[in-house]
Structures are given as C-alpha cells and as structure tokens.
Amino acid sequence: MTVRRSDVAALSGVSTAVVSYVVNGGPRNVSDEKRARVLAAMEQLGYRPNAVARSLRTRRSMTLGLVMPSLTDPFYAELARAVEHHAFLAGYAVLIADTADDSAKQRWYLESFVDRRLDGVLVLTPDPSGIDELERQTIPWIVIDNGDRSPGASPTISVDDRAGGALGAGHLLEHGYRSIACVTNALPFAREREAGWRHALESAGVTPDRSLIWDADLDRRSAHQVAMAMIPATRPEAIFCTTDEQALGVARAIRDLGWECPGDIALVGFDGIPVGAYVSPGLTTVAQPYDEMGGLAVRHLLDRIGGAGPLERSSTLPGSLVLRGSCGCPDPIPA
C-alpha cells in the first residue's frame, strides 16, 4: 500500500501544506510541536519522501555540514549534539566532519561539502582553512564559538567568556578564598575568561598574583602536568580553570599530590560538560548554554539559506554557574 502525504496529514492532524513544509524545510516555518507530530506520523506510516525528486524540485539537499576539531572532546560533542537535534527538528540531516585539528583535512572536508552541494555549513573551529571556498561557491555558513573576539572577526555564536570567568572566580571569592590561581591558555576565549577572573579579584580588592597564572593546553594531561609542578610551588587556596577538561586534570593532580579538594584546594571549571557531575567531588563549573547555542546557530544558518544574508553581528549568550562539591558547596547526587 502506497502511503501518501495526505495520510501523514490526517494522522498528524495538520494540513498537507504543513507536511510539505516539514518535508521540504519550508518555505514557511512550522512550530516544533507540529513538526514533531508530522515526523512521528511519517515514522508510524513508513512514509519516505523521494529525496532525489525533492532535491531537484527545491534545489536543496536538506543536508547541513558540521565541521569540528574533535569528536572526542566533550565540549564539541555536546555542541554537536545540540546542532544535530535542532537540525533534525527543522528537517535537515547533518554530516559531521572531525578534522583532528588538521587544517588540510578541514579544507578537504569543506571542499567536499561544496562538491556535494550541501545547503549550509556550521563551523566549530577558529581555523579559517576552507572558508574561502564556501564564500566563492556562496554556500551559507555560520561559526559557533570560534574563540576570536577581536574587532573584524567573523560573526559567531558564543558564550560571554569574560562574564563567565568573573562568575566562576567571584564564587570562589564568596567562599572566602583570596589566593586563587587561574589555569588559562593563549587562545582568545581563554584569555577572556582569564580577564574575567582578574576583574573579579580586583573588584574584591585582591591583587592578581602573576605566579598564580598558569598556562596549559586545553586537555586534562597538560593541565595535570602544569598543576603537579605549580601547586607545591605556589600553594593556592583555590583554582579557576578556563575549561572543564583542564579542571579535571587539575583535580587529578590535587589527589596525586596527596591533597584534598575542596578541603585543601577548591576548584571551579568552565564549560559544563556532563562528566563534571560524576567525578568526586562534583565539579563546580560555569556551564555553556549548549542547546541554546546550537538552536540559534541552526536558525541563523537556515535564515541565510533562505536568503536572509550574512549575520551582521555576533550573538553572545550568558553562562550559568552550576554548584557542586569542588568549590566547597554541598555536592548534590547527579539526577
């Protein structure tokens, strides 16, 4: 028995036009609630639109590309999950490319996306390699959290790093800590978070100690190595890390040195990756709004695909403080 579009409309309680908008990704918007009903009816009835015919008719592949530097990094994984979810709700499939921080590989993937005539591309990296090809071929693209906050940089969707850094360091100050180290990095977003740490200390009348500013790579291993050397040398009361991955490495160093967190050294991270809730003690962190960032990125990209043109400015979203045991707060059992 052939399932028709009218069957999907009847089961989901919408018009055939709404089913068409969901299948073709427009031209009119459909609410998330109606879209979910249509997709559920399509699944129940086994309705599968002819993708090739639809592509020829609409001149769209209904596919987006997502370029990211690492599938294993929890921050990028969470952001990719949010992007995929919102693209799905909009009726788009997502092709994910892991560049492994390799500029040549990133360029190859972006050129491959152009060859396949993807409708648009989301870029989760500060590396500009291959963006010029997207521009030449007029493929719409959006940057998510590229870390570049300098004037003239590409419009991006990101968290307010400086305010988040001040939020994390400020909470440690509220606990009464005054000797607060900062594990940072040379990338612009980390320097912004470091600037927030500095602002919080200075606002509280505490002069930032240069010996308590420690540079490390963004991974656990590097932060662990740095902390193993610097904690015994400087003996801070607390440490603010510009990423949760760094904070997890520092937490291990505190234990390896025979000290306790938060009894001897309190700790706050930044990003809000899920694993932070399941270490002991749980990691207090400034959480990024992954779902909101992913949803906003997809909406902006679809606007560009629909002819709205380039973004005129960046979108900056606030982070939120998640309190757990590493800072000295009560440590809740993960939900």
Give domain status of residue 31, yes or no.
Answer: yes
Burial degree of 311 (CB within 10 A; 0-12, 13-18, 19+): middle
Give domain status of residue 333, yes or no.
Answer: no
Give domain status of residue 335, yes or no.
Answer: no
Please tell me the number of Cα atoms within 13 Å of 123 on its side-chain side: 27
One domain, residues 111 and 150: yes
Give domain status of residue 334, yes or no.
Answer: no
One domain, residues 32 and 86: no
According to DSSP H, which parts of the chain are helical? Answer: 5-12, 16-24, 32-45, 51-58, 74-89, 103-115, 131-136, 161-174, 188-203, 220-234, 244-256, 290-305
CA neighbor of 290 nearest in space, from 156, 112, 158, 185: 158
Give domain status of residue 233, yes or no.
Answer: yes
Q: How far apart are CA 194 and CA 212, in angstroms?
A: 11
Q: Is 323 left (phi over 0), alpha (psi -120 to 50) or beta?
A: beta
Note the pLDDT of residue 192: 95
One domain, residues 151 and 295: yes
Longest CA–CA span in the chain (Å) reads 76
One domain, residues 219 and 265: yes
Mapped onto helix, strand or coil, the DSSP state of residue 266 is strand
φ, ψ (nearest 5 deg) of residue 224: -60, -45
Q: How far apart are CA 185 and CA 270, in angstroms?
A: 13
One domain, residues 186 and 282: yes
CATH at 140: 3.40.50.2300
One domain, residues 169 and 284: yes
CATH at 47: 1.10.260.40
One domain, residues 177 and 269: yes
Mapped onto helix, strand or coil, the DSSP state of residue 101 is coil
Give domain status of residue 126, yes or no.
Answer: yes
How far are the Cα atoms of 12, 224, 232, 306 from residue 112, in angstroms, in the given order? 37, 38, 50, 22
One domain, residues 189 and 125: no
Q: How far apart are CA 208 and CA 206, in angstroms?
A: 6
Note the pLDDT of residue 35: 87
Give domain status of residue 245, yes or no.
Answer: yes
Burial degree of 171 (CB within 10 A; 0-12, 13-18, 19+): buried
One domain, residues 180 and 237: yes
Sign of the torsion angle spanned by Cα atoms 296, 161, 146, 83: negative
One domain, residues 62 and 36: no
Residue ending a domain, among 15, 33, 56, is: 56
One domain, residues 237 and 263: yes
Q: If you search the block for the tokens 């969901």, which residue do you land on?
A: 22
pTM: 0.80
Note the pLDDT of residue 56: 42
Q: How far apart are CA 281 and CA 331, in angstroms?
A: 7
One domain, residues 127 and 35: no
> Would strands 320-322 and 266-271 be described as parallel, antiparallel, or unpaired?
unpaired
Q: Which domain holds residue 129?
A: 58-158+290-317
Domain count, the chain: 3
Each residue's pLDDT expressed in tens, for the chain with a length of 335 residues: 678 888 888 988 988 888 878 877 666 778 888 888 988 888 888 887 655 445 444 466 789 999 999 989 999 999 999 999 999 988 899 999 999 989 999 999 999 998 888 999 999 877 778 888 888 888 888 888 755 544 445 567 889 999 999 999 999 999 999 999 999 999 889 999 999 999 999 999 999 999 999 999 999 999 999 999 999 999 999 999 999 999 999 999 999 999 999 999 999 999 999 999 999 999 999 999 999 999 999 998 998 888 776 555 678 899 999 999 999 999 999 87
Give domain status of residue 224, yes or no.
Answer: yes
Count of residues making up the chain: 335
Q: If you search the block for the tokens 């509220």, which residue do you land on?
A: 174
